[in-house]
Amino acid sequence: MSEARLRLDGVGFAYTDGPWRLSVDGLAFGVERMVCIVGPNGSGKSTLLRLAAGILAPREGSVTLDGRPLAGLGRRAIARRLGFLPQETPALFDYSVEEVAGMGRYAHLRGAGVMTAADRRAVARALDAVDMTGLRERPLSHLSGGERRRALIASVLAQEPELLLLDEPTGALDMHHAAAVMRLLSDVGGSGPAVVLVTHDVNLAALFGDRLLLLAEGRVAADGAAADVVRPGIMRRAYGEDVLVRTHPESGGPLIVPRRRVPAGPEAAHA
């Protein structure tokens, strides 16, 4: 599968109901296996991902896919190359897992919209990738939260995109299921499309991401490997003084943990 090179250059965006603004000088996605976008609430993570997916249009600057402006491409053309999973998905009828995955083929369907053998094979591959083949006939109402997320991820994998853009794919999942989804996406990024995802969980991002992009107040605060981004000074500027950076006992990478009490004065600077 070829690589999609997605770029945001000189991008500015603001909503009409307030002064908040997102400003991005230059970002590129599609090279690293997994990029994790992190940052405090309201920092612009979901907005950035929607701009990258072409759901929102920038007020200034450009978003390009392999040098072509995203704004000049139709939704079907974009969907064949970029798979986007929003944080909030519309309420679905009680479709089966296989039917949900099949929805990802809409960008490839021709004529009357009947799936071909090639479409069915793509759906089968997507279900296999998320380990849901054995549950393909089960309705969504009979799935756990983690299983539903995997079914939705299967729908974007069935698009056979070159780049996955996922907004909070581990949202509302417990620690066990969130880690399982991140392992799954790490495996997907290693053998299939590259992955760009938004997450509130800095520790999961640091554990699985090849690159972390930290946003704060609508701007890029840090961008690089976890060891270069999850550092005490950078984390405190983004999240405040009530955080500590420690070492993961298995990976040796960084961890961020909350303080029980926030020290004041010189003690805070050296903790």
Residues 177 and 151 in one domain: no
Q: Is the pLDDT of residue 158 over 90?
A: yes
Residue 233 in any domain: the answer is yes
Least confident range from 17-26, 70-79, 83-92, 169-178: namely 83-92
Residue 261 in any domain: the answer is no
Residues 137 and 190 in one domain: no
Domain boundary among 143, 159, 175: 159
pLDDT score, position 1: 44
Distance (Å, rounded) from C-alpha 35 to C-alpha 207? 12
Residues 186 and 124 in one domain: no
Domain boundary among 159, 185, 201: 159
Domain count, the chain: 2
Q: What is the mean pLDDT of the chain?
A: 91
Residues 52 and 185 in one domain: yes
Q: Is the pLDDT of residue 92 over 90?
A: no
Q: Rounded to whole angstroms, what are the CA distances from 6 to 70, 74, 162?
A: 9, 16, 10
Strand order in the sheet with 60-65: 21-29, 6-14, 60-65, 68-69
Query: What whole-number percentage of the chain has pLDDT above 70?
Result: 93
Q: Which domain holds residue 148?
A: 93-159
Residue 258 banded pLDDT, cuts 50, 70, 90: very high
Residues 125 and 75 in one domain: no
The CATH code of the domain that includes 211 is 3.40.50.300
